[in-house]
Structure formats: C-alpha cells, structure tokens
Amino acid sequence: MRRHPRLTTLAAFGLLVAVGLLAAACGGSGDAPALSDVRIGRPAGPNGAMYLTAEGYGTVDRLTGATTDVADSVETHESFMGADGTMGMRPLDGFDLPADGALVLEPGGLHLMLINVDRLDVGDKVKVTLHWESAGDMEVEAEVVDPADAGQGGQ
C-alpha cells in the first residue's frame, strides 16, 4: 500500500506538536538549573567558600542550602560592605534563581560557606548536594582551586 506524501508529512507534524506540548507540560526545557564554574576556594582556616553559576531553566527556583561530607554544615551567605568600610558576611535563607536568568555565586558576593571544613588541597574534587525548592536535590562535584583563581570561575 502506497502512502500519500502529504499525509505522512501531516502525521510527522502532528507527532512533533504532541512532543512539544508534552515537553512544555513537563516544565519547559529542563528539570534543573544548568551549572558551571563550580569551585571551592582552598580554605586557609576552618571555613571555606563555594562558588558557581546556575542558569535558569524556565522555572523560578531557590537554592536553599547544601550538604557535603567534608564540612560540618553549609550556609548560604552574602558578603557586604559595612558602614565603617570593612567587609562582612551574613547568612541568608537562600538565593533566588530567575526562570530565565542566572544566579552567580562569587567572591565578594553570594556564596555557600562550608563550616568546619576538612583540609582541602588545590585539585581535590568534592561532592556537594545542592538543595533547590523546585528542582530538588542535585549532586555536583566542586574542584578546589587556589583562592586567587576562585574569582575567575576556577580558571
């Protein structure tokens, strides 16, 4: 039996539309933020800072915290300039990720603070679980970098 080319094209188009609608119903282009520049500045004392860039995935989300086996706890922090001109840090209850924007954790700004961290050396790889409100838990690997390189995405 010979099929009509126009019917085959219409069937293929219908299948394409159905797949697109299914993808849209499942949350858009992905289920979690795309991460880059995941790194930890080598700690010089009992605490260390973790940085990364998270790209939005079509859903507003919030990074509420993280856990790792190499620290007693991980807190969401921001650096700020005090009225007296000195830098300080304070804990936050999380970081917002816009649906189609980016969340940038970097030295002098937002960061994840690893409290009572184990000894880490440049080049070590550390498993960290990020806790997102919508995307859920996401395990990542952070490379320990020289503190001088932490501001350049570990480069």
Give mean pLDDT, residues 57-64. Answer: 97
Give mean pLDDT, residues 115-125. Answer: 97
Same domain as 38, residue 23: no
Host domain of residue 13: 1-28
Q: Which residue, among 55, 28, 41, 40, has the nearest Cα to 142 in the 3D structure?
A: 40
| Predicted confidence (pLDDT) at residue 140 exceeds the cutoff of 60 | yes
* pLDDT the model gives residue 4: 56
Q: How many domains is the chain built from?
A: 2
* CATH code at position 118: 2.60.40.1890
* pLDDT the model gives residue 24: 38
Residues 6+ apart with CB under 8 A from 25: none
Same domain as 71, residue 117: yes
34-60 pLDDT, tens per residue? 999 999 999 999 999 999 999 999 999
